[in-house]
Copies of this chain bind each other. A is one copy, B any other.
């Protein structure tokens, strides 16, 4: 399954770190790509691209001003994560090749609720788009991506009981 994340409504400065965390979660939990929309923020694009390069794999990051065309032209199932939505049923995604997961910053335009196939809540309590994305990806992709060897990684962690071990490939 190919999962793309659409992060909408990014605001310079205010969302810098949350958006970066969303992108790193997307990569680590098995999405293939994140599309950033809202205010263009080259520092976020750069830091995510650099992390993806250092840590390996084929994760892509891209900026698109026009989120509506991304949503309208996407071929596959579109899931918007919102605390106002319904409980996820992972079976709905079982036979799908392409999934677009939409996560917003503060307020998401009402249109998004209509343009998506599902509005999915990870609990009906306020928490975090980082957490919602994490649980959604875990539910549809499982835990395997978290432990996969990444191709062309320059850095690799060797799990330790109570210290740090990082192997660097020159």
Contacts and interface: CB of A to CB of B under 8 A. Distances in A.
Nearest to A138: B135
A124 B146 CA distance: 7
A150 interface: yes
A87 B159 contact: yes
Copies of this chain held together in the complex: 2
Given A119-B162, A121-B159, A122-B146, A128 B86 contact: no
Contacts of A127: 21, 24-25, 27-29
Contacts of A122: 146
A19 to B, nearest CB: 10
A83 to B, nearest CB: 6
B51 A84 contact: no
Contacts of A29: 123, 127, 131
Given A14-B17, A18-B18, A128 B24 contact: yes
Contact of A163 (B113, B145, B165): B113
Contacts of A51: 126
Interface string A80-121: 001111110000000000000000000000100110100101
A21 B131 contact: yes
Interface of A: 14-15, 17-18, 21-22, 24-25, 27-29, 51, 55, 82-87, 110, 113-114, 116, 119, 121-128, 130-131, 133-135, 138, 145-147, 150, 156-166
